[in-house]
């Protein structure tokens, strides 16, 4: 079973800065969460139960560009390449909240007919059309924790990155869809030698597809303003993730999960 945070009030000996390789941050969900699974369609989408490593790294890149990008206009490509590599190579573990309630919803809406620009121009098309979409929203009860550390495949001095990484996490206010807000809780941040929690299947788990950045992908591949195209299973890889939660109740309208 993944280890929980040590809640003891006994003071711990301070470790050298360079010895600390892992950062654990905590967020309080303040709105419903939704993040389409990677295998979802545009009209029907189940939601991930927690943010994936890909979503977390993209959030880190977003706040990095917003907070520091303007200071590197003259050397942006070189600066972005070095920053992107260490964020891409992070190992990330997610500790879900105590309870998750997944609410299923169906919506009828009007949307732009995307075939109008690609189809035969002589054929009449409707600029707007009706459609039915399926979405899931997740209510989180408790704190969401994220543990980040260096990649085992590269020998970067990640301990020196922890202050910068913690600063970037403090600037993030949402994961997943825009409006899925989280409140950063600085009093729960910890820097440790080893990850505070990681997967252990002894007590069971729930499988969730976890997408992540590929080992050799570049910033231009995931940059929507670049002409380079990202390839699935190369620049964006999808692997099974194992969450320490158990389905305790289900119906046509909702699922409820309890953390072990």
**Which one, of 37, 71, 40, lies nearest residue 51 by Cα?**
37
| Cα–Cα dist 31/91, whole Å | 26
Beta bridge partners of 174: 181
| 76-70-149 Cα angle (round to 5) | 70
**Per-residue confidence (pLDDT) for residue 71, from 0 to 100:** 93
Which residues have a Cβ under 8 Å from the Cβ of 72 and sit 6 or more positions away? Answer: 79, 80
Whether the Cβ atoms of residue 235 and residue 77 lie closer than 8 Å to each other:
no
When pLDDT is averaged across residues 50-59 and rounded to a whole number, the result is 96
When pLDDT is averaged across residues 113-121 and rounded to a whole number, the result is 57
Q: pLDDT tens digits, residue range 119-145?
A: 556 666 666 777 788 889 999 999 999
The domains of the chain, with CATH numbers, are: 17-248+255-259 (3.30.70)
- The 10 Å CB-count burial string (b at 16+, else e) for 11-23 is eeeeeeeeebbbb
Whether the Cβ atoms of residue 60 and residue 169 lie closer than 8 Å to each other:
yes
| 138: helix, strand or coil | strand
Strand order in the sheet with 254-259: 128-141, 99-112, 254-259, 245-250
Has residue 252 got a pLDDT over 60? yes
| 166-171-174 Cα angle (round to 5) | 115
Q: pLDDT tens digits, residue range 17-45?
A: 456 789 999 999 999 999 998 877 777 88
Both structure tokens of 15: 């470790």
| Cα–Cα dist 184/247, whole Å | 27
Has residue 16 got a pLDDT over 80? no
């Amino acid at each position: 079973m993944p280890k929980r945070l040590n809640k003891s009030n006994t003071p711990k000996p301070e470790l050298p800065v360079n010895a600390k390789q892992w950062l654990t941050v905590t967020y309080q969900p303040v709105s419903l969460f939704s993040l389409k699974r990677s295998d979802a369609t545009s009209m029907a989408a189940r939601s991930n139960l927690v943010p994936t490593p890909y979503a977390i790294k993209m959030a880190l890149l977003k706040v990095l560009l917003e907070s520091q990008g303007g200071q590197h206009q003259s050397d942006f490509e070189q600066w972005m390449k070095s920053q992107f590599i260490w964020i891409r190579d992070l190992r990330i573990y997610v500790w879900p909240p105590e309870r998750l309630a997944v609410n299923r919803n169906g919506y009828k809406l009007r949307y732009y007919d995307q075939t109008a620009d690609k189809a035969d121009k002589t054929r009449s098309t409707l600029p707007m059309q009706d459609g039915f979409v399926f979405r899931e929203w997740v209510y989180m009860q408790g704190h969401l924790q994220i543990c980040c550390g260096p990649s085992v495949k590269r020998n970067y001095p990640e301990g020196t990155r922890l202050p910068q990484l913690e600063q970037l996490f403090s600037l993030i206010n949402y994961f997943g869809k825009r409006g899925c807000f989280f409140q950063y809780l600085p009093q729960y941040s910890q820097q440790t030698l080893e990850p505070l929690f990681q997967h252990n299947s002894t007590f069971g788990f729930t499988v969730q597809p976890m997408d992540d950045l590929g080992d050799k992908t570049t910033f231009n591949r995931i940059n929507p303003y670049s002409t380079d195209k990202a390839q699935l299973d190369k620049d964006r890889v999808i692997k099974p993730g194992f969450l320490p939660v158990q389905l305790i109740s289900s119906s046509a309208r909702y699922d409820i999960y309890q953390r072990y």
